[in-house]
Amino acid sequence: MDALTLFFTDLRWQDIVDILLNSYILFRLFVLFRGTNVIRIIMAIAMLWMLERLAVNTGMIVTSWAMQGIIAAAALIIVIVFRNEIASVLKTDNFKSFFWGIPRRQQHTPIDTIVESVYELARRKLGALIVLPLKKGIDTVAQSGVSWQGKLSREMLLSIFWHGTPVHDGAAIIDGDRIVEVAAILPLSQRSDLPSQFGTRHRAAVGLAEQSDALVVVVSEERGEVTVVKESSIIPIRDNIELEKVLRKHAGETDHTGGIRRQTIELGIAAMVCLISITGIWFSFARGLETLVTLEVPVEFMNRDPRMEIFAASASSVKLQLSGSARLIKSVRPDQVKVKLNLANAVAGHNQIPIARESIALPPGIALKQVDPQILEVTLDLPAKKTVPVQPDWAGKLANGLILEDVRMIPDTVEVVGGNRMLEGLQTIYTEKIPLDTIDASGTISVGLVLQPSSLKLDSGSKNRIDVVFSVKQRPEDGDGNSDA
């Protein structure tokens, strides 16, 4: 549950666009190649890819390499073996249907009119090529047709395929009870096993059936024979009864409401599968290969009482161990990672402030693994001033025969600034160490001050160096000629 929550909270708007865009591309591929062998091979490659990812996650190195090789070979096979189907999709002039068109539904077609017209064409030996698109449509396959939009009738079909008319050589496309396009150019089949008597019309019918789910009726101009082509099946028709039976089986009257509902459900399921698949792929690439990095980030203190100041903190920065994909980790900028501690509840004196996840700002897609340290000690107090005497801090001893006769500090006091509680216990400020063994005569030394603790500061009117004026003399000798001890 926590992983799922982290997934949604760290999702960037770029990730959402990335997932939706690629899901739509996958959905369009399904729509364009639905019902063809291409989509089946793509689904097989997708299954192989999932097995390859499973092999990677379980540490099966050789299996993973083998799967990668098979996937690469399968992609090459698609391009070579199904180049005609792919080319027919890419050559479309209708960009609306290519990028965002919704697949057509099968329309109600007057079967009796078609049967009567076909056998009248056969009786007169008028060559004809009649296409009935079914569920998939043929917008991306049929080329260079002339828009007709005429109501389907026996007389209309006879006039279209009559000898000498400008449109009699192409295919007539019937959608429902209308002839929507004539003189359409269909892709020719490259099959070598077709009967020798088949001419261009028959090859065009087989070529279209290979690349769509359309039902194609062919009337031979030489023999007056009728043939129906559907997918890989070539059906010779003996009489009008058989033709009516075949047409009703594939393109007959259907329940329009039920057909629309089935198509909507089918496309909805396909869209959902595409979205889930792309989300899984994105998650595998974006989160599957986790990269760790450690950053040292300065701490920002916020919402402190304006009357108080921070006089000490156990650390001015913290180390954050972050995780994410290598791409996101490399794109992280220092200004995108912040640690902000809330001092609204801090009191005068020592405070222990935990560094919670809410105190850390991270870019989307980056997860926090570890914080060091997890607690900061912060000292707050009311600022105050105090004048304290200065004392020299002597080190070592004078040379034999010398004694320190007099010492004066210029100035002998300084004004310091610090927390009120801290100054209450402060009685003296010492200088830096002054080595006595280097002194052999009276003089003046300029030394700095040692401010302890480090949060203690000199007031702006006080100097940070003190002049130590000292006098030394020879130790007086006793009656025996020896210096007094």
Would the CATH topology of 291-381 be identical to that of 383-474?
Answer: yes
DSSP secondary structure, 195-240, as one string: -TT--HHHHHHHHHHHHS--EEEEE-TTT--EEEEETTEEEEE-SH
pLDDT interval class at 106 (50, 70, 90) = very low
- CA-to-CA dists, residue 233 to 172, 189, 195, 205, 453, angstroms: 20, 13, 13, 11, 95
Q: How many residues comprise the chain? A: 485
CA dist 250 and 107 (Å) reads 11
Q: 112-124, pLDDT tens digit by residue?
A: 888 999 989 988 8
Over the stretch 144-173, which tens digit does the pLDDT of each residue have? Answer: 788 888 888 889 989 999 988 888 888 999
Does 92 score more than 60 pLDDT?
no
Hey, which residues does 309 pair with through a beta bridge? 381
Positive or negative, the CA dihedral 193, 195, 197, 201 is: negative
Cα dihedral 267, 272, 278, 283 in deg (nearest 10)? 180
Highest mean pLDDT among 44-48, 261-265, 277-281, 319-323: 319-323
Against a cut of 0.75, is the pTM above it?
no
> At 99, which helix (H) or strand (E)?
helix 95-99
pLDDT at 336 > cutoff 60: yes
Q: In the chain, where are the structural domains located?
A: 13-100+262-286, 111-237, 291-381, 383-474
CATH placement of domain 111-237: 3.40.1700.10
Distance from chain centroid for Cα 402:
81
Q: 383-474: which CATH number, 2.170.120.40, 3.40.50.300, 2.130.10.10, 1.10.3720.10?
A: 2.170.120.40
**Three-state secondary-structure class, residue 144:** coil
Angle at 247 between CA 245 and CA 252, to 5 degrees: 100
pLDDT tens by residue, 340-353 = 999 988 888 889 98
Residue percentage of the chain with pLDDT more than 90: 12
199-245: per-residue pLDDT in tens?
A: 888 999 998 888 888 899 999 988 889 999 998 888 998 888 898 88
Residue range 291-381, CATH number = 2.170.120.30
Q: Give the C-alpha separation, 290 to 6, whole Å.
A: 14
Identify the pLDDT of residue 485: 45
Indicate the pLDDT class of residue 133, thresholds 50, 70 and 90: confident
Reference 370, options 283, 292, 286; nearest CA is 292
